[in-house]
Structure 1
Amino acid sequence: MPRTSSAAAKAPKNGQEPAWSIPSLREPRYSQSLERGLAILGCFTPKRPVLGIADIADDLGMSRSTTHRYVITLVALGYLEQGASRKYRLGLRVTDLGMSALNSTGLREHAHPYLEELRQRTSYTTNLGVLDGTDVLYVDRVRSYRRGQGSIDLDLHTGSRLPAYCTAMGKLLLANLPDSEQRELIAAMKLGKRGPNTITSKKGLREELEEIAAAGFAVNDQELNAELYAIAAPVRNEAREVVAAVNLSAHSSMISLEEMVDALGPHLVSTADRISARLGFRRDDEQN
């Protein structure tokens, strides 16, 4: 018979369900200590990136002294970092593991040469992203050679994340989710104003996603900030699922959004299709 670990079985003080609950097996090699350490990491989410000892202890139904002991160990190993507020956030070791997991899928390895080629053809910055909760996670990035791109760089790099609702890649990925999953994510979002054209109503976002699903591509029309235009196209796997997105981004003073779509869109779509082919995707007219 399966049992539940003491961390998961103990009711949290806040009256809510535990943030992390794993059924433990009657297996002599099973490590409850490791389970608790991973449960602590699982408490940190895009909506709750910074937590104190009391927050974690209440989430997991653990004592504060026990929680503190695990947290100190995770800090020493680089999986958590303590900020000036004496609260904690995920450390760089977690980012390293996440990127290693992404790299193990072969997605970045397959895509990178095509991103380099797209940058050469267009001279604009190109990115590869995947959906991670309500965020888009940047898996790869090839920067523009053009002057002025630094003003919209936003300090982005591989491993960075941005809210999905105000980015071309994020909206494209949201648009290709099953309806129930899409609605769940939208319900969890806070649509704050980021740029002059940010979509700030959930009804408006759902309507935008319907249009994106029909069109097959997405744009960012100064939605993240006033200086940025971007267009995005889907990357599909062998099962025809959208697993990632590729974009081109440019400073709004360099090119109009219409010109990006008309002149650069075909290059972007071609790049996304070639990456998809490397992942095993075949169009209907290519299948026999």
Structure 2
Amino acid sequence: MAVDDDSTTSRSLERGLAILSSFSESRPVLGVADLSRSVELTKSTTYRYVATLARLGYLQQDPETRKYSLGPRVVDLGFAAINSLEVTRVAAPYLQALADETGYTVSMAVLDGAEIIYVERRRSSRSAGGFAMTLDLHVGSRLPAYCTAMGKVLLAHQEPAVLRGLLDRTDFARRGPRTMTNREQLTASLARIRQSGVAVNDEELVAGLRSVAAPVRDRTGRVVAAVSVAVHLTVWSTTADAVVSRLERPLRQAATEVSNRLGYR
């Protein structure tokens, strides 16, 4: 195995992980030429890494197109990582209780770069909303942080330099009818969220969807996750202010209970 100048660093491992990291929700299938450009290696070198990853189950090849996608071993690792998060184990009963109390879908997410990753989803047994299936959101789903309530909560509690870097990497595309596509407008909104502790998504991700989110803190006070309650206009056609008025109290209580279980006082 090739090793970098730093004896503690494996270049082969770095290259293998770089190949796996080239796949994303927007680029789920890639050929050797695509991967070669992504990791800046020759096609022959890239193929050797790809063939090894495929043999180990981390990639799988379509026999017709000869292109690759992530294999089951990567999926297993992803779910193992999510399940190992202390916050998911602690939060589960509180999120289910919140879903049952409100009757709406409750989610929890963490920040990964300029995106959020869903690490928990709970639906009430009496929930009538169908938007979750429409958006096909599940544990492991990723969404841009700038146009989601949970994402805005997590961005709002980043250090200024970190936040600037994340916004530099954000493509402010219009996703819903009320998406904030202006960086200065979003930055001002994040400052207000940091003060209030609650973020609202008013049809910013997709038409008809509103959600309210609050932060979860660990024992040091650091915001490590966000919890949200989401409502679709087909289920409850009302104003965003009315949604916040009804859902903010139980949402804050659930987020506080999870934070307390993590040692936050």
TM-score range, shorter chain: 0.7 to 0.9
Query: How many matched pairs?
Result: 260
Alpha-carbon distance change, 92 to 149 in structure 1, aligned in 2, over 3 angstroms: farther
CA 212–95 in structure 1, closer or farther in 2 if over 3 Å, else same: farther
| Cα distance in 1 for residues equivalent to 2:161 and 2:138 | 31
Whether 1:95 and 2:78 are equivalent positions in the alignment is no
Match of 1:268 in 2: 251
Aligned-residue CA RMSD in angstroms?
2.5
Given the superposition, is the C-alpha separation of residues 94 and 224 from structure 1 closer, same or farther in structure 2, using an over 3 Å criterion? same
Q: Does the 8 Å CA contact 2:105/2:231 hold for their aligned counterparts? A: yes
Tell me how far 1:221 sits from its aligned partner.
Answer: 0.2
Alignment of 1:1-288 (within 5 A): 5=4, 24-25=6-7, 33-44=12-23, 51-82=30-61, 86-146=66-126, 148-153=128-133, 154-255=135-236, 256=238, 257-282=240-265
Unpaired runs of 5+ in structure 2?
none
Q: Could you tell me the TM-score, scaled by structure 2's length?
A: 0.87
Identical-residue share of aligned pairs (%): 47
Against the structure 1 CA distance between its residues 111 and 101, is the aligned structure 2 distance closer, same or farther, given a 3 Å change threshold? same
Query: Deviation of residue 137 (structure 1)?
Result: 0.4
Higher relative contact order (CA 8 A, sep 6+): 2
Aligned-partner SS, 2:212 = strand
Q: Which has the larger radius of gyration?
A: 1
User: Contact between 1:152 and 1:227, CA under 8 Å: does it hold in 2?
Assistant: no
The TM-score with structure 1 as length reference comes to 0.81
Q: What is the CA-CA distance between 1:61 and the residue it aligns to?
A: 4.7
Output one character per residue of 1:9-68: Cα deviation in whole Å (capped at 9) or x when no partner.
xxxxxxxxxxxxxx541x7xx865444323322444678665442343345453311211
- Structure-2 change in CA distance of 1:43 and 1:4 (3 Å): farther
- 1:143: how far off? 1.8
- Unaligned 5+ runs, structure 1: 6-22, 283-288
Contact 2:228 2:251 in 1 (8 A): yes
Alpha-carbon distance change, 227 to 59 in structure 1, aligned in 2, over 3 angstroms: closer
Deviates more, 1:273-282 or 1:37-46: 37-46
Counterparts of 1:119 and 1:81 in 2: how far apart (Å)? Answer: 37
After superposition, the Cα gap between the structure-2 partners of 1:51 and 1:220, relative to the gap in structure 1 and judged at 3 Å, is: same
Counterparts of 1:272 and 1:99, CA distance in 2 = 23
Question: For 2:113 and 2:65, how far apart are their aligned partners in 1?
Answer: 26
- Which deviates more, 205-214 or 107-116? 205-214
Q: Give the letter for the 1:119 counterpart.
A: A
Write the distance in 2 (CA, Å) between the matches of 1:223 and 1:146: 26
